[in-house]
């Protein structure tokens, strides 16, 4: 049976600048409460555990967002630099917030 999944991947991490990691491995079972996307902004809320929003970084107003090309990443080989506007995670008894720190976004399309 053929399948296809497409959307926008985005993440935030604890780095102050561009994150040196090429992938994220954090997973947790939860129910998606809300997902919004408004051009440059991407936001998801999952129960009381996750509240993550990133906004694609534009260095010069009126130009395209800053991107990293030829990156080894499972979502896409081009990542848009997207600092976290909201980043709160509460899981396994740990609470943390990382607003303003490193993040990325990228469109993806997978099929099998």
Taking residues 95-103, what's their average pLDDT?
Answer: 75
Show Cβ contacts of residue 45 under 8 Å, excluding neighbours closer than 6 positions.
Answer: 32, 33, 34, 35, 51, 52
Q: Is residue 92 part of a domain?
A: yes
pLDDT tens-place string over residues 47-79: 777 788 888 999 998 899 999 899 888 889 999
The tally of domains found in the chain comes to 1
Own/partner contacts of 64-73, CB < 8 Å, gap of 24 or more, are 65/40, 68/18, 68/104, 71/22, 72/22, 73/22, 73/23, 73/104, 73/106
Asked if 11 and 111 touch (Cβ cutoff 8 Å), the reply is no
Q: Is residue 111 part of a domain?
A: no
List the structure tokens of 89: 């995670």
Which residue range forms the structural domain that includes residue 101? 8-14+28-106
Q: Whole-model pTM?
A: 0.69
Q: Is residue 21 part of a domain?
A: no
């Amino acid at each position: 049976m053929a399948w296809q999944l497409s959307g926008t991947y985005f993440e935030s991490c604890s780095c102050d600048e561009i994150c040196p990691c090429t992938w994220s491995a954090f997973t947790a079972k939860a129910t998606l409460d809300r997902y919004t996307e408004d051009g440059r902004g991407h936001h998801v809320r999952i129960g009381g555990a996750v509240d993550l929003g990133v906004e694609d970084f534009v260095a010069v107003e009126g130009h395209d967002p800053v991107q990293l090309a030829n990156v080894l990443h499972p979502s896409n080989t081009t990542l848009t630099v997207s600092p976290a506007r909201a980043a709160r995670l509460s899981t396994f008894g740990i609470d943390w917030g990382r607003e303003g720190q490193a993040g990325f976004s990228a469109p993806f399309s997978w099929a099998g």
